[in-house]
Structure 1
């Protein structure tokens, strides 16, 4: 079975037993969690979250610059008042540079991605500090 078909079947089962449709759109715990998209991490399980508790925003490396649009919507329209930034050890973002990926895209896709900062990092703790600083200094994120 193709992955999409598996997902559709699983969603049918999930939807048929889903009884939390009355949850409010704003997250109950008024928090947005920014975390890496790494498939090995289950943020809900790791943080003890249930449906409706938080906005979980995922991208490569859990980078704040990529998440600003979602964070502004979360805070300005949906009532979150806290942001938690989570990066992790053994992250794929530690394994390449912008130059590496720009070259790979050119070679394999014959496309130019030189204008994209893929936001890799060499130090996990520093990347968290950098992202927290970005959010604290952003005029789009209330303090």
Structure 2
């Protein structure tokens, strides 16, 4: 085993010793799919009053609705009892602090010498506009149920509060 992960292996052994989630069904018990950012300042379950098993959590840089997120939402809606979707980007997000992907590519190449132009990051400094477009992508996806409720909120990493967005 790689020693860079020893702390995680030890922590998992402690966690598994008191594991209490045996028998949970693989569905979203509260019918929620949450699309949010990978930012480690976000602890989505307690932030929304949820428990393990209540929701399907989809995380990526910026909390963007990508083709992969849409594919996963289709599966979740039809096979995992998801009946509502919340899209939750956050304040002080790196992906919303730059003008777009070109700036991210330039920054990575300048600071690390790696050309990432083959990747789409979805960076957009118009966070509300991006949220609006992401919510609309879900609402109008031809394979998702027409009646699927979709909402957007912004999570404040400094207060823990969510602010519903008019989307």
If the length of structure 2 is used for normalisation, what is the TM-score? 0.76
Deviations 1:33-87 (A, max 9, x none): 1111111111111101101111111111110114223222212221211111111
Matching of residue 20 in structure 1 with residue 21 in structure 2? yes
Secondary structure in 2 aligned to 1:56?
A: strand
Secondary structure in 2 aligned to 1:57?
A: strand
Deviation, structure 1 residue 21:
1.0
Aligned match of 2:96: 94
Where structure 1 has 5 or more consecutive residues not aligned to the other structure, the ranges are none
Alignment partners' CA distance in 1, 2:13 and 2:72: 27
Aligned match of 2:123: 120
Higher helix share: 1
Alignment partners' CA distance in 1, 2:37 and 2:134: 12
Number of aligned positions between the proteins? 141
Mapped contact 1:26–1:80 kept (Cα < 8 A): yes
Deviation, structure 1 residue 109:
4.4
Alignment partners' CA distance in 2, 1:28 and 1:41: 21
Alignment partners' CA distance in 1, 2:29 and 2:21: 13
Comparing 51-60 and 91-100, the one that deviates more: 91-100
Secondary structure in 1 aligned to 2:86?
A: strand
If the length of structure 1 is used for normalisation, what is the TM-score? 0.87
Deviation, structure 1 residue 104:
4.0
After superposition, the Cα gap between the structure-2 partners of 1:105 and 1:90, relative to the gap in structure 1 and judged at 3 Å, is closer
Alignment partners' CA distance in 2, 1:5 and 1:69: 34
Counterparts of residues 35-54 of structure 1 (less than 5 Å): 35-54=36-55
Aligned match of 2:163: none
Mapped contact 1:89–1:124 kept (Cα < 8 A): no
Deviation, structure 1 residue 105:
4.5
Aligned match of 1:71: 73
Alignment partners' CA distance in 2, 1:109 and 1:141: 41
Mapped contact 2:101–2:124 kept (Cα < 8 A): no
CA RMSD of aligned residues (A): 1.8
